[in-house]
Structure 1
Amino acid sequence: MLMYKQKKNQGTSAGGNRLLISITVIGSAGPIRFVVNEDELVGSVMDTVLKSYAREGRLPVLGSNIDEFVLYCPIAGTEALGRLEAIGSFGVRNFVLCKKPQLVEEVADGKPVTVGITRKNTGSWKSWFNKSLNLKVSSH
């Protein structure tokens, strides 16, 4: 029994460092925080976030298909993170999860034609983030 515990401890230390990450979901009241291994893939982190979000009963309802979402790191740049990259490779612990813009297709002469990208709200998460930083204090 003692050897089993030693092997178990060795296995967890060989798995890499663990990180407490914070993921803000656009439109949600607050971030979701949990611990992950730094070697865990971005795709599995996105899956965990969506499941935690649904389990907590947060609004708006997002669904569980990770193909409809992108994960950004606001500090590292404006490009979405690749799903096959390790979450610890970016050197940050704060991320933003938002829905991908949806393509609208119309059928013309029996062939689908891509019209463009529609958005329910004007702007993007970057503009929302910048607006939230520019808090104005009203004078009396």
Structure 2
Amino acid sequence: MVLYKQKKTWDPKGNRILINITVLGSAGPIRFVVNEEELVPSVIETSLKAYAREGRRPVLGSDINDFFLFCPSASSDALNPWETIGSRGARNFILCKKPRREKLEGDGKPSEAVTRKGSGNWKAWINKSLNLKISSQ
């Protein structure tokens, strides 16, 4: 006699929807299924995990507080963190990184390390970062 395992019946706690999230600067949207009652930060976290798992570029990071989620068809404002993903009735969203604030030095001016973009040599960077003196011979 062969025993069959009974399949588990899927018992959703709300409607599940397929959403498309386009990451600003990436090639194409990320698609996954979420519960309509899921909050925006949870959707951002799932998006970032899927983005990283797929090995997409540019690398975004994993801090959900660094991102906004927009619903382009509903309004130009970012979704609030306490909103549910299904509250706008949309299925397409845009994920954008928040603008970085410049760190200020003691005199109130932006620090050079934050505003400068990768020009210079590695010895100067190490000297400045670690306060070491590396001779160039």
TM over 0.5: yes
Cα deviations across residues 6-37 of structure 1 (Å, max 9, x unaligned)? Answer: xx54x42xx11111100000010100001111
* Amino acid in structure 2 at the alignment position of 1:56: E
Deviation at residue 63 of structure 1 after TM alignment: 0.6
Give the share of equivalent positions with the same residue, in percent: 59
Q: In the TM superposition, what is the alpha-carbon distance from 1:39 to its structure 2 partner?
A: 0.5
SS at the partner of 2:68? strand
Residues 19-66 of structure 1 show CA distances to partners (whole Å, capped at 9, x for unaligned) of: 110000001010000111100111100000000000000000001101
Of structures 1 and 2, the larger Rg is shown by 2
Q: Secondary structure at the match of 1:105?
A: coil
Counterpart Cα distance in 2 of 1:84 and 1:47: 14
Cα distance in 1 for residues equivalent to 2:106 and 2:59 = 33
Structure 1 counterpart of 2:83, one-letter code: E
**Are 2:31 and 1:22 aligned?**
no
Aligned pairs for 1:86-101 (under 5 A) are 86-101=84-99
Partner of residue 80, structure 1: 78
**Matched residue, 1:135:** none
User: In the TM superposition, what are the counterparts of 1:33-112 in structure 2 within 5 Å?
Assistant: 33-109=31-107
Structure 1: which amino acid aligns with 2:99? P
Give TM-score, length-normalised by structure 1: 0.69
What is the CA-CA distance between 1:113 and the residue it aligns to? 7.0
What is the alpha-carbon distance in structure 1 between the residues aligned to residue 109 and residue 79 of structure 2? 28
CA drift of 1:107 comes to: 2.0
Distance, in Å, in 2 between the alignment partners of 1:41 and 1:88 is: 9
The gaps in structure 1 that reach 5 residues or longer are 121-140
**Aligned-partner residue type, residue 85 of structure 1:** E
Give structure 1 regions of 4+ aligned residues with deviation exceeding 4 angstroms: none
How many correspondences in the alignment? 109
- Which whole-Å CA distance do the structure 1 matches of 2:24 and 2:71 have between them? 13
Greater share of strand: 1
User: What is the letter of the counterpart of residue 63 of structure 1?
Assistant: G
